[in-house]
Each structure stands twice: as structure tokens, then as C-alpha cells.
Structure 1
Amino acid sequence: MYSTLDVDIRPGLGFGIFEIGKLFSFLWGISRQVNKTGTSLWTLLDRLRHLQHVFPQVDVKYDPDSSAITPIVLHIRPHLDLLFSGKNQRLHTICVRNLRDPHPPVTLRYKDTVLSSTEEVLRRVGVSRTFGPTYPGNGLRYPGLWFSFEEEGITEGLKGSATDGRMQEVKRILISQKGNDGKGQDALDEVAECSAMAGDVASVVVKVHDGITIHFYGTAPSKLLHIRLGETTAEDLTNDLGPPLRVHYKDDERMTIHSIRRPEMGNGYFYNYFQHGMDFLLSGTSHTVIKIILHTNLPGSPMFQRYKRCNWEIEGKPEDDEDDTPPRKRFYDRFETISHFLSPREPPPSMLLDRTDEEDDLTLPSPTTRLHGYDGIILEVTESSQVAAVMLF
């Protein structure tokens, strides 16, 4: 016996627990401690993990050769397809389908009106009575909301086809962000900045031998956070980023065989900020940051979904003193491009890393990555030449 899913439709905003986010103009000075939930891929998958009794099966669909930049679809059987933008991994479009499938039965509401249920079939006439006049075009379109009478995939359905007949049954409902003009976005666009992003990390600029500069959504451009190797302390991290989700005391010493151990490090420990896609290794004696790890959250990689995607970019040296736009390479650039940027010579020898060695229940098509070390920075690279993580030391 299945429990009925009783959910509300919010045009342009969301569906049930799934939030897209309301467009708005950011006000300077919003606290960077704010952590809205429900819009990022990492947040939604983490929430679904705790709701397996409601959503027992979730499939992740992506392009394995370019998962850093192509959209991702979460298929929650049998009713939902959630489309996430390729680069920022933000919920872009929600597709509700199989409205008559009883496993589980679903009741859809809009404000105080029941649109569809086991007793109520949603038809064209019902949509018109509830939402009123519609924009001309395929299907019944409203700002942030579209009713389709065809059973197609989430991306093909954005094209639609002409339909008529007031008793036609609605087969699919699409919910997406809306602008002030009432028009929807292209399925491959990035999600526009919205209230759900306030306080989240927008981008991180990496400077080798120095540290990182963090840009936040919803704050003035001048309010940046600088985290510097050998200077920023554990107390600084807590004050600026809040307490870490986990403190992990370093007990894996296998990598020390490849380097000269500095006595001032002591027994180091990690501050794990999964919600920002970052780890910080701190010295056990000086309690300053001695290593920074930024995660790309590539679907199909061993570390997928442990960290939210960090939108990192490595900054090079400016051509001259007047150059205010130094060159940068970003997380979605191929390894060969970033490697040449860091060192024009041949790539350095790599080490093989299999993160599934200690995970008996984890099976992946490509479980191994390679570590490529440069002066002050290490790249973890997948078999498809995508950079899964950056380590700065």
C-alpha cells in the first residue's frame, strides 16, 4: 500500500519540497552565514537520502564524458524529473508526469484548489478555470508553469506541439524560473541568481602559493573572503564560514612517503565544509591552514555527492602591472589545458588513486583517478580528463 503524495505547485518557485528559487535583486550585506536549502544538486540528493521511505528510487542521468558542464537529470520514479544546470548544478526545471500512476498515487494542489488526484483528472478545461488566460503558443503556458498534453522527455517536451480540445488530459507539468516578462528559460541555461542562493559560494579564485578568494552570492563585490596558506587560522574559518560540518583528525599518513614532513605541522586535522565543496587541513601546532582542497562534484566519480560543487578557477600571473584581468582556468577546462597553464612543459608523472579500495559496496565504471603534482598545487584527474579536485599547499 502506497501513501499518497500530496504536494503543492508553485509556479516559478517549486513543487513540494523541491525549490527552484524566487528571482530578486540582491541587497548588499546579506549575511554569508545564511544557508538556504533545496536548490543545489548536493542539497537535494542529501535530503532525498533521508526520505527513502517516500522516494525509494532515484536515478542520476548525465553525460560521463563531460559531466562538469552538461545538465544532470534526477529521475525520481515514477512522477518526477529534475533538471539541474550543467555548471552550477542548480535545480532549473521540474517535470511532473505519470499523474495517473498509483505507485504512489499523487495529489496536486495549487493554493486551495486540487488540480489532480485519484478521483480528479486534470484536463485542459480545469487548467483554464484555475489559471485563466494563457500566453499563445504550444500547450498551456503561464509564467514559470507549462501544462503539456504529450508524454515526452523533459528536454524534448520544452518544444511542445499544438493541441486543442477542452477535455484533453494533461500528461506533464513543467515548473521553471520565470522573469518579469513571463517567459521561461532555455533548458540549457544556468539558473538566474535567486534568494535560495544568498550566502552560498558563487566562485573561488585559486592563487598558487597564496590561497583562495571566495565570492558569495548576495554580497557586495568588495566583501570577499581571503583564506591564505600559513596565515588563516581555525578561528578565522569558524568566524567567516561558520563551524565546519565535520572535524576530521588526520590519521592517514600514506602520502607522507612522497614528501619531507615539516615538524611544525604536528598532528593535522581537517575542517570539512561539505556544503561549500571545501576541505581545509590545519596544522596541529600553529592551527593555521596548510592545505586547501576544492571539489568539483563530478557525477560518476568516487567522490560524487560527498561535497557540493565548488566553482573554482585558477588564476595565473598578470602579464604586467597594469593587467587587471589575469588569465584563469576553470573547473570545467580539460586537464590538458590546465596542465599546460600550470606548466608548459610535459605533464609531471602521476600517481594512481583508487578511492573505492576501502568501499566494498561501491562499484563504479571508472573508479580510479590520477594525481598530478605541480609546484604548490595537485590536480586529481578522472579517466575522461576532467579535474575532480584541486589541492593547494
Structure 2
Amino acid sequence: MLTLEVVPERSLGCEQWEFILGMHFSQAVAIIQAQIGVIKGVQVLYNDNKPLEIDLVINLPQDGIRLFFDPVTQRLKIILIYNMKLVKLKYCGLSFNSPELLPSIEQIEHSFGATHPGEYDSEKKVFTLNFRGLSFYFPVDSKYQKGSTHNLASLQFPPGNSPVVARLAIYSGGSVDQALAPEMPLSCYHGQLYLQKAEIIRGESFTKGLKLNLLAGTNNRVIDSTILHLERRILLGQSAQDISSAIGAPCKVFYKSEDKMRIHAPNAHRRVTTNRSDYFFNYFTLGLDVLFDARSHLAKKFVLHTNYPGHYNFNMYMRCEFELPLMEANGQTVIDAYSNWNDVCKKLTPSERPVVLNRASSTNTTNPFGSTLCYGYQDIIFEIMPNHYIASLSIYGDGAKQGSKQA
């Protein structure tokens, strides 16, 4: 049984880890993966047809905890403990919920202090005690209600028979019904750059590069802890050195082709340079990949990921908040990470016959999410999911030549 500390309007956790309001979905998953054997039976719940309307949820049924993430920002907005019997809880180091200590109304008021009068919902038969960023829900039998007011004074309980908490919610703000995911807290930056917005720089029917608005956290003794706003440009045709100088070292370098027989060579740990292969710089926190030519080491493709649940690469990247302006005969069209492909096709004329993309790995040849369709338009490839949302955007082609001239 987990023993966790409740921090109103902020977090739920222990000394080893902490679920913090505002943290990204992938960061919560990383915590769960690091606690394998301690946190068990994890479920991810989402709506495949309405991924931008219904919350993304991580359910921990063996611990009685649900984490609700905003479907657009994919940041944590509500922490719900829906089964108090499966977890031990503390506040300011003192226990208020355990098998030996029931969280009654008296115990909650003793542990958390005075609050505003609670509210009683006669239809749901639930009495709620609200603190800022924290709500306790008590199931109440209607036979205990007296009078017509909906507060604690309208309820009367026999001695020693007051209700105990059935659910607990941690959120940011004054009401759980209106709770919004806060901005990512500084404690979740971990020295990484994060993307605020990516503007795709276009020429006449070709792409030049990207203008990136970035966020960086600083936390040291020399200056106050703060979040810095940076603007960087990266262009097709730029060198690997120029791009890494602009946006930092990649999270990972991936080579497109690997000789699987190389393991039998005497120097298997060394990369063979005679058989060169193109390589990617993976920037997971930016939702961005940059493909470099093996010989010239110049950027020849950008891949922008939207990180929708139900896609093969879901949770590998954070969502790239891109804006793609395209000039058409009827004016400018702006496509972003939330555009529906059916709406896009009303304004553009992409390739009629798409390419079917069905990803599979060597260890698991079955793709549980099904295939996607890739449509071409000028120097852009749109990867479209079955729900008609854009899974990724690949930009390549003549822009690389233009970018190299300007770099």
C-alpha cells in the first residue's frame, strides 16, 4: 500500500516521486515506469474519436488513483483518489487516512483546519468539504438531512457515525469543476527545452525552416529560479553543428539503417563510417526530428509530431505546437496540430492516392493501432490517423537548397 503526501493545489507523492499538477503526460508515465513493481495495473483511457474534447486519463486501479490530463495541452489538471482504502495519506507529515485512521469529517477538519461550510448535493447524496485546490467527498444518506439548506448544519449524524471520505480531488484553482491544467512548473523542466510554438517558415511553394519559441528553466544560486523565453530559427540545409548550436544537443541520435550483422564484428561497439547512413536528431520535448544527410551532414527533413493517443508513436514525443501557413488561390490557409484533415481537404488539394503506413518493430510485428495514410502536398507529407487528425508533418525538398543558401 502506497503512503503518499497530499499537497493542496500542487501534488501527490512521496520522497521518491511526485505527481505534480501541470506536469506533462509523458513525465507521469516516466514516474510510473520507474516504479515498476510498486505501481501496478496501469490503464490509459482516452477517446479515439474525440481526442481534443475528452480528458486523457491514467488509471491506477490497484492504488485507487486517477490522473486527469487536459486533452489539448496534455498537462495534469486533476488528481483523484477514488478509493481511500487502497492508499495511506498524509498532510504536513501527519497521517489522516489509513486502515487504522478513518478520514471522517471530524478527522479532516482536525488535520486541515477550518474551512468554508460544506455543500450537500441532495440528488447525488454527497457532502463536499472544499479547501483551495482540495475537495473531500462524503457519501451521505438522505435520512440524515434536516431542513432545506445545503450545508453541514443541515445534516445531523448519530454520535460516532459521521461519514468518511469516499473520494479526494487535488486541483489548481477554487473549483474542481472549473479546474484547468496550470503551466508546467519549474520543477518539471529537468534542464530540458520545451516548445511553446513552432512557426513553419515558407517561401513560394517550398519550406525554408522553422521559427521556434522555446521555454527553458533556470534553477541555480546565482540567479532567481525562472522560466526563460527563447526564439530560435533552424533551416533546411543547415549543418548538424548549426542546428545543435541553436536548439541544443538532441535527446537521442537515430541512424536510419542498421547492419544487424555488425554485432558479430570484432569492433561491434564502434560505428562503421564506410557504410554511411542518414541520421535523425530526436528532440522529444520539442516534438521534433531533424534528418541529416550522411555525407554532407546538412538537414534535409523536419518531422513534427502531434502526439495523439492511439498513434504508434504516442508518448514518445511531446506535441509540437506548429502553425503551417499555405497560400492558395482563395487566400492563406493556416494548418496547426489540431486541424482535422477533412477540413484541410476543403481548402487544399493533396495527392489523391495516399501511401499506407503500417509501422511494426522486429520484436512486435503487430501494430495494435492500425495503419495511417500519408498524403503529399508540395514539399510536405501529412500523416493522417483513422480519426482524421494529423499524426505528423514531414517537410523536405527544395527548401533544403534554399536553406543552405541562407544559412
TM-score by length of 2: 0.74
Q: Which amino acid aligns with 1:351?
A: V
Query: Structure 2: how far apart are the matches of 1:346 and 1:283?
Result: 27
Closer, same or farther: CA 336–358 of 1 in aligned 2, 3 Å = farther
Which of 226, 229, 233 matches 2:236? 229
CA RMSD of aligned residues (A): 3.0
**Relative to structure 1, is the Cα distance of residues 53 and 162 closer, same or farther in structure 2, using a 3 angstrom cutoff?**
farther
State the match for 1:287 in structure 2.
Answer: 297
Residue 276 in structure 1 maps to residue 265 in structure 2: no
Secondary structure class of the residue paired with 1:235 = helix
* 8 Å Cα contact 2:171-2:179 kept in structure 1: no
Evaluate the alpha carbon distance shift between residue 193 and residue 248 of structure 1 in structure 2; reply closer, same or farther with a 3 A threshold.
closer
Query: Structure 2 regions of 5+ residues with no counterpart?
Result: 120-127, 141-149, 217-226, 259-275, 397-407
- Could you tell me which amino acid in structure 1 is paired with residue 284 of structure 2? F
1:302 is displaced (CA, Å) by 1.4
| The structure with more radius of gyration | 2
Higher relative contact order (CA 8 A, sep 6+): 1
Q: Which residue of 53, 59, 65 corresponds with 2:49?
A: 65
Identity of aligned residues (%): 24
2:352 aligned to which of 348, 351, 354: 348
Distance 1:346 1:54, change over 3 A: same
Check conservation: 2:23, 2:184, Cα contact below 8 A. no
From the two aligned structures, give the one with the greater strand fraction. 2
2:277 alignment partner in structure 1: 267
Change (3 A) 1:206 1:339: farther
Q: CA deviation at 1:174?
A: 0.4
1:71, CA displacement in angstroms? Answer: 1.5
Residue in 2 aligned with 1:147?
Answer: 136
Tell me how far 1:280 sits from its aligned partner: 0.8
Q: Secondary structure at the match of 1:210?
A: strand
After TM superposition, the structure 1 = structure 2 runs for residues 1-393 of structure 1, keeping only pairs within 5 Å, are 4-16=1-13, 17-21=17-21, 39-78=23-62, 79-101=64-86, 106-138=87-119, 139-150=128-139, 164=155, 165=157, 167-178=162-173, 183-184=174-175, 186=177, 189-192=180-183, 194-196=185-187, 199-208=193-202, 209-217=207-215, 223-231=230-238, 233-251=239-257, 267-317=277-327, 328-341=334-347, 343=348, 345=349, 347-356=351-360, 358=362, 360=364, 362-364=366-368, 366-393=369-396
Q: Distance in 2 between matches of 1:41 and 1:144?
A: 20
Render the CA deviation track for 1:79-126: whole Å, top value 9, x for unaligned: 11000001110011000121113xxxx221111211111211111111
Structure 1 residue 330: Cα displacement: 1.7
Which whole-Å deviations, capped at 9, do the CAs of 1:249-297 have from their partners, x for residues lacking one?
1218xxxxxxxxxxxxx73211112232211101223322211111111
Question: What letter matches 2:316 in structure 1?
Answer: R
- Equivalents in 1 of 2:337, 2:198: separation in Å? 10
Offset from partner CA, 1:17-58 (integer Å, 9 cap, x none): 34334xxxxxxxxxxxxxxxx811112113312222111211
Offset from partner CA, 1:217-247 (integer Å, 9 cap, x none): 46666x311111112x322333343322211
**1:360, distance to aligned residue in structure 2 (A):** 2.3
Instruction: State TM-score, norm by structure 1.
Output: 0.77
Distance 1:188 1:358 in 2: 43
Superimposed CA distance per residue, residues 118-153 of structure 1 (whole angstroms, 9 cap, x where no aligned partner): 2111111111112222234531111111111149xx
5+ residue gaps, structure 1: 22-37, 152-160, 253-265
Aligned residue for 1:63, secondary structure, equals coil
Kindly tell me: are residues 195 and 327 of structure 1, through their superposed partners in 2, closer, same or farther at Cα, counting changes over 3 Å?
farther
Count of aligned pairs between the two proteins: 336
